[in-house]
Amino acid sequence: MSTDPKPIYVTQPYLPPLDEFIPYLEKIWESKWLTNNGPFHQQLEQALSEYLGVEHIALFTNGTIALITALQSLRITGEVITTPYSFVATSHSLLWNGIKPVFVDIDRNTFNLDPAKIEAAITPQTTAILPVHCYGRPCNVEAIEKIADNYNLKVIYDAAHAFGVRDAGGSILRHGDLSVLSFHATKVFNTFEGGAIVCPDAKTKTRIDHLKNFGFVDEVSVVAPGINGKMSEINAAFGLLQLKHVDKALARRKEIDATYRQRLEGVKGIQCMPVDCENEINFAYFPILVEADYSMSRDDLFHKLKDNDIHPRRYFYPLITDFSMYRGLPSAHQDNLPIAVDTAQKVLCLPIFPDLEDEQIDTISRLIAEQ
């Protein structure tokens, strides 16, 4: 058993010193402005736009409500092509809008939606594509955009993992009609709970701002069946504080990624994701694949680590298509998704967070390397 009295979870939120947060709380108490587009909310939208290199951001209470609202804002209906290899919020947002998800297999190297499989899934009812930048690794945005343009489809990126990720042209969030972020406590950048939609222009942001506030334009005018998706001042204030520390946190994540790769190099049956040399990624997760020639099954390794107070996660197992509300769909059949099925049976995400110590990485790696 580990001698560390504290369990090591797959991710833990970075918490700046409490005394740095107190002045923000005092300002909120003094102003008595707790929500409804307060000063910290406005400051965070501006600060995030500048940091991420995008024009417009609309903050939300969480990423799931942001996904639901993004689909509403573009008036998506019918069928939407998406991935089975994600957190259930991705596909749940479709069901909440009365949209039929159509699942397509993933790429073996990136775990993202495979563009080569998209066209065969398009029908007259298809109106959009909902890809996921899985683990913060960018999708093949050029190929997806070409398909969308050819078939006149909208593209909404679930960018929950992709805070701060950049390709050669700038922020990965600039691609698609909309990109949706999550600021949940487990994410690279968090506001306790929170999310955002990256908007291409001011008109789109205005519509989204109306939708997240019940559809109100002013005190007496409601123009859409909106929802309550507003971020509070406390969450926004925490986000402003987090933003001051995020570069340091990202740098530490990169170090942890490199250390794991070094420690696990040569361990028979353990495969790390290929190094991404083309993009600036955020090292949001550290997934490994437990192959057939490893000394035990993926699930046996999972339980071995848990028995030592180390708590990895099998992201993403089960697949979305294994859940009861989806598995009856024709596109959810395992024969349609061989790479996603294989990956879900092998994947194990190891702990990665800024406060993870080198000694803890050594312990985790040693337990994995023991044959």
Structural domains in the chain, CATH included, are: 18-104+111-241 (3.40.640.10), 246-369 (3.90.1150.10)
Residue 323 φ/ψ region, left for φ over 0, alpha for ψ in the -120 to 50 degree band, beta for the rest: beta
What span, in angstroms and rounded, lies between the C-alpha atoms of 99 and 81? 10
Q: Residue 359 is encoded by which pair of tokens?
A: 């000694």
pLDDT in tens, the chain (371 residues): 444 458 999 998 888 899 999 999 999 999 999 999 999 999 999 999 999 999 999 999 999 999 999 999 999 999 999 999 999 999 999 999 999 999 999 999 999 999 999 999 999 999 999 999 999 999 999 999 999 999 999 999 999 999 999 999 999 999 999 999 999 999 999 999 999 999 999 999 999 999 999 999 999 999 999 999 999 999 999 999 999 999 999 999 999 999 999 999 999 999 999 999 999 999 999 999 999 999 999 999 999 999 999 999 999 999 999 999 999 999 999 999 999 999 999 999 999 999 999 999 999 999 999 97
Q: How far apart are CA 283 and CA 300, in angstroms?
A: 26
Burial of 357 (0-12, 13-18, 19+ CB in 10 A): exposed
Per-residue pLDDT tens digits for 1-16: 444 458 999 998 888 8
pLDDT recorded at residue 2: 44
Q: What was the pLDDT predicted at 1?
A: 42
Q: CA-based angle 244:246:250, to the nearest 5?
A: 155
DSSP-assigned states of every residue in 189-243: S--SS-EEEEESSHHHHHHHHHHTBTTEEETTEE-S---B-PPPHHHHHHHHHHH
Per-residue model confidence (pLDDT) at position 14? 84
Cβ-contact 312, 302 below 8 angstroms: yes
Give CA–CA dist 112/176, Å, rounded: 15
Q: Which of 354, 76, 57, 311 is nearest to 202 (CA)?
A: 57
Q: Give me the phi and psi of 335, to 5 degrees please.
A: -65, -25
pLDDT at 371: 73
At residue 5, the pLDDT reads 57
Count of helices and strands (H, E) across the chain: 10, 16
27, two tokens? 């300002």
Instruction: Quickly tell me which residue has 């696990």 as its tokens.
Output: 264
**In the structure encoding, which two tokens stand for residue 254, read together?**
């990169």
